[in-house]
């Protein structure tokens, strides 16, 4: 199913019917090249999802949302440490949680640590999605970086489709 149009968190179906869309918020951190922010901005243009930077989290009314998507670049093999720190400060029991990340080179699934915390603490883990993001960290700057031109349009669309499936 593809999300065509929506209003008030209901999707309009071609036969005129309406179905509920989950109320979703993306909490994100993006400090290297704003790669993750590029993905998040694209999603927020395409889908009815609230986006919030981790530093603005105090304004969040968590009870308004069914689904929380945690999004970040990967720094030293994990999502930004502030994401897990924030998660530990709230009650996630029975919330649906998905993970989205951008990374320079994915030689393993970087979301495992947060996934374990989510599952161990009674939330419903709904999956992860990722793409590569331009990376000039450390010695990589000397070779002009890796994953140049990422996230690209293909990356943006792949992740958008995944997030769309999560909210429908």
Ligand X SMILES: Cc1cc2nc3c(=O)[nH]c(=O)nc-3n(C[C@H](O)[C@H](O)[C@H](O)COP(=O)(O)O)c2cc1C
The site for ligand X (CB under 6 A) is made up of: 30-37, 73-77, 102-105, 133-135, 137
Smallest gap from residue 75 Cβ to ligand X (A) = 4
Smallest gap from residue 127 Cβ to ligand X (A) = 19
Q: Which is nearer to ligand X, 16 or 138 (CB)?
A: 138
Residue 150: how many other CB atoms lie within 10 Å: 21
Smallest gap from residue 113 Cβ to ligand X (A) = 12
Q: Which is nearer to ligand X, 95 or 150 (CB)?
A: 150
Q: Which is nearer to ligand X, 47 or 71 (CB)?
A: 71
Report DSSP letters for the chain, one per residue.
Answer: -----EETTEEEPTTS-EEE---EEEEEE--SSSHHHHHHHHHHHHSS-EEEEGGGGGG--GGG-SEEEEEEEEETTEE-HHHHHHHHTS--TT-EEEEEEEES--SS-TTHHHHHHHHHTT-EEEEEEEEE--B--GGGGGGT-BSTT-S-HHHHHHHHHHHHHHH-
Smallest gap from residue 28 Cβ to ligand X (A) = 8
Smallest gap from residue 19 Cβ to ligand X (A) = 33
Q: Which is nearer to ligand X, 44 or 77 (CB)?
A: 77
Q: Which is nearer to ligand X, 78 or 124 (CB)?
A: 78
């Amino acid at each position: 199913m593809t999300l065509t149009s929506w209003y008030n968190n209901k999707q309009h179906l071609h036969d005129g019917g309406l179905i509920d869309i989950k109320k979703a918020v993306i909490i994100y951190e993006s400090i290297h090249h704003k790669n993750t922010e590029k993905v998040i901005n694209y999603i927020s243009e395409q889908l009815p999802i609230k986006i919030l930077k981790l530093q603005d989290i105090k304004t969040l009314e968590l009870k308004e949302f069914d689904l929380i998507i945690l999004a970040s670049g990967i720094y030293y093999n994990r999502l930004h440490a502030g994401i897990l720190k924030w998660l530990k400060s709230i009650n996630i029991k029975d919330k649906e949680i998905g993970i989205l990340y951008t990374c320079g080179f994915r030689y393993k699934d970087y979301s495992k640590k947060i996934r374990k915390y989510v599952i161990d603490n009674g939330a419903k883990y709904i999956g992860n999605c990722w793409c590569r993001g331009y990376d000039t960290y450390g010695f990589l700057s000397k070779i002009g970086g890796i994953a140049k031109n990422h996230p690209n349009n293909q990356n943006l669309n792949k992740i958008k489709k995944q997030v769309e499936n999560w909210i429908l």
